[in-house]
Amino acid sequence: MLINEALEYLDLHINRRLTLEKIDGLSLSQMKILLETIGNPHEDFPTIHITGTNGKGSTATMVAELLSALGLSVGLYGSPHVTSITERIQINGEPITEEEFAENAEVLSIAEQHLDFSPSWFELVTAIAFRYFADAAVDVAVIEVGMLGRFDATNIGNPRVSVITNVDYDHTDGAKGWREKIAREKAGIIRQDGILCLGEVDEDLETIFTDENPKKIYRRDQDFSVLSNELAVGGRHLTLQSQSQKYEDIYLPLHGEHQGRNAAIALSAAEAFVGITLPHDVVRGGFENVSIVGRFEVLSSNPLLVIDGAHNPPGAEAAAQTLKRSFPVDGKLVLIVGMTEEKNAEWMLDCLEADEAQLIICTEAATPRSMPAEDLAAAAEKISSMVEIRTDPKDALELALSKAEPDDVILGTGSLYVVGALRDAYFSNHS
């Protein structure tokens, strides 16, 4: 099987859209059967399991880099991908090759013939990751939840460390009690014989997590914290406190104050996993090597072109604040935005502070879940008279670049699907 055949095979399977309002009757029984059919590869390595409304992908990457810097063989599984599906599955920063991905997909296609059900797209990709990590005999796999937690396909086995970054608005209709309901779903990744690193500081939610009875809890601002979080050239300059030690003079090449908070919980999780205080040089080296595609990634200057995969209101707020603090706009702001259909467009645009943009270009990505650019534009026109529609992200980028002066800023955001398309469009013309 070749990579195109593997992708065609996966596309024959639905990708269940798990939301808070659609969890009744769900279970992990199919995922367990699927993994049993291929020999339960997830039992061959310990895991760190990470969920949260925002920051779980960045946190997972940081944990993986810290453990890699310690000399471990570290698998990393995350979603969604920006450019290639192989980005989702990595060992020590190297993505699975297309050949290896296709080989594992072929094994799954054969295994599926012995099942009396059809697995979901995400279940199959998760199984590919687990099998790949098992065959490579990784020392640990850092696993990012796809959505929520309790019934996510990744929630298999017994993670040594569970991480909950935060609980905020996403995958919900906002009905009364939504935060508690989301917290319960995320708490589903906690194990009684495992350690919990908890980034959520709302005391009203604490009992939801403690009721899962982890053997140990490390809490943000109690057991670990960010002592200083300063803007630096190309990122942040941090002082971090873990549950065991203070780490000074840490450089993190990521933009946004929120990444400092992600770094603190990542450090806590890494220490919790190994059970020792990490050497200062390991921590410095690990954080210095962090690189995340599509998270406030600078593609060019003059004009400054930045892409960020903010896909929910809290992420959009963080994007707006990061842009103001890390990239002060001397000229005008051009916003390229596209999002998936279930999002509240007006709320997202408000959180992005789109009314401050001199031009809003509405676009969409090549996915059935995309909100039509025309619908997004209708929301944008309520706050701005300078709205353009370009359904193809490539055309949207060309328009933005043609309108921008050297001291302007172009921000592409709203969805990782859109960010990926913008990134591909830029590098296809500037490689």
Q: Say how far apart CA 108 and CA 130 lie, in whole Å.
A: 12
Cis peptide before 80 (omega within 30 of 0): yes
Which has the closest alpha carbon to 395: 415, 422, 358, 367? 422
Instruction: Report phi then psi at 289, rounded to 5.
Output: -90, 0
Question: 236 near 257, Cβ under 8 Å?
Answer: yes
The answer, yes or no, to whether residue 431 has pLDDT greater than 70, is no
Residue 73, burial from CB neighbour count under 10 angstroms (0-12, 13-18, 19+): middle
Beta bridge partner(s), residue 333: 409
Residue 42, burial from CB neighbour count under 10 angstroms (0-12, 13-18, 19+): buried
Q: Tell me how crowded residue 249 is: count the other CB atoms within 10 A of its CB.
A: 9
The model's confidence at residue 169, banded by pLDDT at 50, 70 and 90, is low
Q: What percent of the chain has pLDDT over 90?
A: 77
The model's confidence at residue 333, banded by pLDDT at 50, 70 and 90, is very high
Q: Say how far apart CA 232 and CA 326 lie, in whole Å.
A: 9
- Ordered domains of the chain (ranges, CATH): 3-288 (3.40.1190.10), 297-429 (3.90.190.20)
Which has the closest alpha carbon to 266: 240, 285, 244, 233? 240
List the single range of 226-230, 299-303, 309-313, 328-332 with lowest mean pLDDT.
Answer: 328-332
Which has the closest alpha carbon to 426: 381, 393, 380, 402? 393
Q: Say how far apart CA 378 and CA 180 lie, in whole Å.
A: 33
Question: 360 near 386, Cβ under 8 Å?
Answer: yes
At position 372, the amino acid (one-letter code) is P
At position 274, the amino acid (one-letter code) is V
Tokens of 150: 């309790």
Question: 329 near 408, Cβ under 8 Å?
Answer: yes
Tokens of 211: 């009721």
Residue-wise pLDDT tens digits, 228-272: 999 998 899 999 999 999 999 999 999 999 999 999 999 999 999
Q: Tell me how crowded residue 184 is: count the other CB atoms within 10 A of its CB.
A: 20
What pLDDT, on a 0 to 100 scale, did the predictor assign at position 20?
42
The answer, yes or no, to whether residue 276 has pLDDT greater than 50, is yes
The strand pair at 304-308 and 297-300 is best described as antiparallel
Average pLDDT for residues 322-329, to the nearest whole number? 83
Residue-wise pLDDT tens digits, 370-428: 899 999 999 999 999 999 999 999 999 999 999 999 999 999 999 888 999 999 999 98
At a CB cut-off of 8 Å and minimum separation 6, what does 200 contact? Answer: 52, 164, 165, 166, 167, 183, 209, 220
What pLDDT, on a 0 to 100 scale, did the predictor assign at position 17?
54
Tell me the Cα Rg of the chain.
Answer: 21
Tokens of 141: 């796999």
Q: What percent of the chain has pLDDT over 70?
A: 96
List the single range of 93-107, 114-128, 356-370 with lowest mean pLDDT.
Answer: 356-370
What pLDDT, on a 0 to 100 scale, did the predictor assign at position 160?
97
The answer, yes or no, to whether residue 19 has pLDDT greater than 60, is no
Which has the closest alpha carbon to 193: 165, 163, 229, 158? 158
**Residue 413 host element (H or E):** strand 409-413
Residue-wise pLDDT tens digits, 171-228: 455 556 778 989 999 999 999 999 999 999 888 899 999 999 999 999 999 999 999 9
Rounded-to-10 torsion of CA 163, 167, 169, 175? 130
Q: Which residue has the tokens 């409304």?
A: 53
Tokens of 188: 């589903």
How much is the mean pLDDT over the chain? 92
Q: Say how far apart CA 22 and CA 20 lie, in whole Å.
A: 6
The answer, yes or no, to whether residue 18 has pLDDT greater than 50, is no
| 308: three-class secondary structure by DSSP | strand
The model's confidence at residue 25, banded by pLDDT at 50, 70 and 90, is low
Q: Say how far apart CA 155 and CA 170 lie, in whole Å.
A: 19
Average pLDDT for residues 152-170, to the nearest whole number? 90
Average pLDDT for residues 14-26, to the nearest whole number? 55
Average pLDDT for residues 40-66, to the nearest whole number? 96
